[in-house]
Structure 1
C-alpha cells in the first residue's frame, strides 16, 4: 500500500488508532481462533500490523511474530510489544517463500487498489508454508473510494473476495460477517475469511 494520503492519516493518528484497536483486538474471537489453529511456536506474519495489538496477542500465545506496516509511527508502536519484531514494509515487499505458518491480514489489504489484490494474494500464498493459515478481513461493498479522513478503500463482496482467494490457490475454511466502528467514526459492514494454502 503506497497511497500517500492514506499513509499520512495513519502516521498522524497512530496513537488514536492504537487506543481504538487495543481493547477490540484483546476480545476478538476471530483472532483467538486464528491463534488456536496454529502450531505452538509457529511463525506468523501480521501484514499491516498497525500499532501491533493483534501481534501482541499472538506473541503472548507463544507465536513468533513478524509485524510489518508501511507507516513508521505504527511500526514504532508495534515494536514496543514484548515478543513482536516489527519492521517498515509495504505489501510489495513480501517476497518470502514457505516461511509462515500463518498470515494475519486484518483490514490492511482493503487499502490496496483492486487491480493489485491478485498480485498481493499470490505473493502471500507463496509466503505460507504448505497448509499454512491465511486470514483476511475487509469492509464489504463495491467500488473504491476515500473515507471522510481521506483514506483510500477498496470494498469487496463475499463472492468477489472468495473468488480471488481461490484463484490464488487458497482453500476457504471459515467466514464471519459483522460490522464495526473505525477510525473515522462510522459503522461499516465487514467480512473475515480464513483459508489454507
Structure 2
C-alpha cells in the first residue's frame, strides 16, 4: 500500500475520470433496487460515486490511508481504511465490486479472501471482479500483482462455490495503457 500512499494524488488524477461504464453496467443491471454494495479497494472512489448516484447504498474501503482521504472527499461518504484480508461481514451485501483491487492479493491468499467475500454476500448476491489479464505474479511497477486469465479466474471462483455468470476481456480505457487487457468476471452466490 506504500505505493498508493506515496502516489495517491497522481493515481487519483489518473483514474477518477476513466470511463469504465461498459463494465459496471453489466454489474448493476443484475442488482436489486436500493442494493447494498461493498466496494473493495475503491481507489479514487470512482465507482462508489457512480453507485451512490444511481441510488445504491455503498460501503467502500481501501488499503491506502491517502486514497481513503481522497475517495472520501470525492464521494461524500466515509471511506474506511482496511485490507480485504481483514473484512468480517456476514450476509450483508447484495453486490461486491472488486475492480482492479484483488489483483494485489497473492495467489496463495486469493481463495481465503474469496471465501470471506462470499460470506459477506447475501444469498443470490452478485460479485464483479477484474484482474490484469495474464499469468504473471510478482512485483511490477512498485506493486504486487496476481494476473489471471479468464479460465483461471472462473476456476478459482467456482472452487469456492460461486456460479460464474460471465467472463470477458476488456481494454484499458486510459490512452497511455491501451495495450493492457483486463480479465473481468461476474459471479453469483447461490
- Return the TM-score normalized by structure 1: 0.89
Aligned 1:155-170 pairs, distance under 5 A? 155-170=147-162
In structure 1, how many angstroms separate the alpha carbons of the residues matched to 2:173 and 2:142?
A: 16
- Equivalences for residues 11-160 of structure 1 within 5 A: 11-25=5-19, 27-82=20-75, 84-147=77-140, 149-160=141-152
Question: What SS is found at the alignment partner of 2:158?
Answer: helix
After TM superposition, where is structure 1 displaced by more than 3 Å over at least 4 residues in a row? Answer: 81-85, 184-187
CA contact (8 A) 1:142 1:156 kept: yes
- Structure 2 partner of 1:172: 164
CA contact 2:48–2:75 (8 Å) conserved in 1? no
Most deviating of 65-74 and 11-20: 11-20
Runs of 5+ consecutive residues of structure 1 not aligned to the other structure: 1-6
* Distance of aligned partners of 1:82 and 1:190 in 2 relative to their CA distance in 1, 3 Å threshold: closer
- Which of residues 168, 179, 185 is equivalent to 1:187? 179
Give SS of 1:92's match.
helix
Q: Secondary structure at the match of 2:73?
A: coil
TM-score (norm 2): 0.92
Output the CA distance in 2 between the equivalents of 1:185 and 1:158.
20
Secondary structure class of the residue paired with 1:84: coil
CA drift at 1:169 = 1.1
Contact 1:64 1:83 in 2 (8 A): no
RMSD value over aligned CA atoms?
1.9
Indicate if the aligned counterparts of 1:181 and 1:187 stay in contact, CA closer than 8 A: no
Deviation at 1:39, TM superposition (A): 1.6
Residue aligned with 1:196, SS: strand
Q: CA deviation at 1:186?
A: 7.5
